[in-house]
Amino acid sequence: MADPEAERVPVPLVEPINLFDFELLAEQQMAHNEFDYVAGGATDELTLRRTRSAYEHLALRPRVLAGNAAADLSTTVLGQRIEVPFMLAPSGGHKRAHPDAELATARAAAHMGTVMGLTANSSVPIEDVAAETDGPKWFQTYFYRDRELTLEMVKRAEQAGFKAIILTLDAHWPSKRERNIRNKYKRGARANYTPAQEAQAAANSKSMFDSGQSSRGLNDPAASWADIEWLKTATDLPIVCKGIMTGEDASLCAENGVDGLIVSNHGARNLDTTLSTIEVLPEVAAAAGERVEVYLDGGIRRGTDVVKAIALGAKGVFFGRPIFWGLSYGGSDGLIKLMEILRDEVESTMMLTGRGSIEAIDASLVTPMPALA
């Protein structure tokens, strides 16, 4: 009699049921160099690989008979209610995944009732994304060498109705992304810069490591905490600092009146051999205390990841790479499907651990995973 297992033929992956499936489909759909740009990390990609392991080495401690008939996934960020505890991280050039680019992303975020982070390096102008939906949006920019450009970006975001400014602080120098170097990657046009600004960026970018990072030529490596105070005088919008990886910098965020911070290592794309963001989150959250809202970005792939991050001190989480996977699968509808899967996994995790609300998730829910003998 034939062995049934020997006759089994693998079923082609068509309908994704988790975020990893979306990633596999995106690799088949996107141009190779564009997929590598999104997927890759810095140098040996040690931190990139470490990140999944860090989540997997946190164990959940479920409670029973908690009396929850349902789970409420809503929370607030900077005083704004969102329907799920995850948000879309600012990430450049969504057109590499779908022609509708950031317009599709905005529609998906609004559908899910959550925040879209729009980067200055977007494929679509600030104003067009703002006009696409009335969902909550935060705008990400940098301290440029030309402070007038920083001010211009912030004012455009204000006038377009964005609700907060995200300042990326860890992109002041080109990083070595070896996938991009091997692919001889050239970044496409960005909608929010003039040709003169693009030319200046290219002129300032002399490193062999630039590999599609010409925007780094505009960013100011000499920026300091004093620039936070300057920006606070220039805008009334809340300021969120992205790229915080230590308790020391979390304390400085609080001392300088920052409203929020994002624990982020730029998706492990800038500096290799750092800890993962979930590993440094407790330190950062403890230093920030009640003075600054803390969010986490990096490696979110499962609903359990979201819940673990909240347990360790995050108010909510951001994700970046999965945006491209969802868009590649089907534009706004594809990204909505991806987020619905993540939402359902968060809900299941909450119910099965006895947490009926985001507020009920605390540090008692997680513990280090003991090593097996």
> Of residues 32, 98, 111, 266, which has the active-site annotation?
266
| Euclidean distance between CA atoms 184 and 313, whole angstroms | 40
**Best CA proximity match to 51, nearest among 244, 319, 292, 338:** 319
| Euclidean distance between CA atoms 308 and 369, whole angstroms | 12
Q: In a 3-state reduction of DSSP, which class is residue 244? A: strand
Task: Name the burial class of residue 184, with classes exposed (0-12), middle (13-18) and buried (19+) by CB atoms within 10 angstroms of its CB.
Answer: exposed
Strands 366-368 vs 58-60: parallel, antiparallel or unpaired: antiparallel
Q: In a 3-state reduction of DSSP, which class is residue 43? A: coil
**Best CA proximity match to 120, nearest among 133, 138, 96, 104:** 138
Is 266 a known active-site residue? yes
**Best CA proximity match to 348, nearest among 52, 23, 68, 59:** 68
Residue pointed to by tokens 């067009």? 128
| Euclidean distance between CA atoms 72 and 86, whole angstroms | 13
Phi and psi angles of residue 296, each rounded to the nearest 5 degrees, phi first: -120, 140
Active site residues: 266
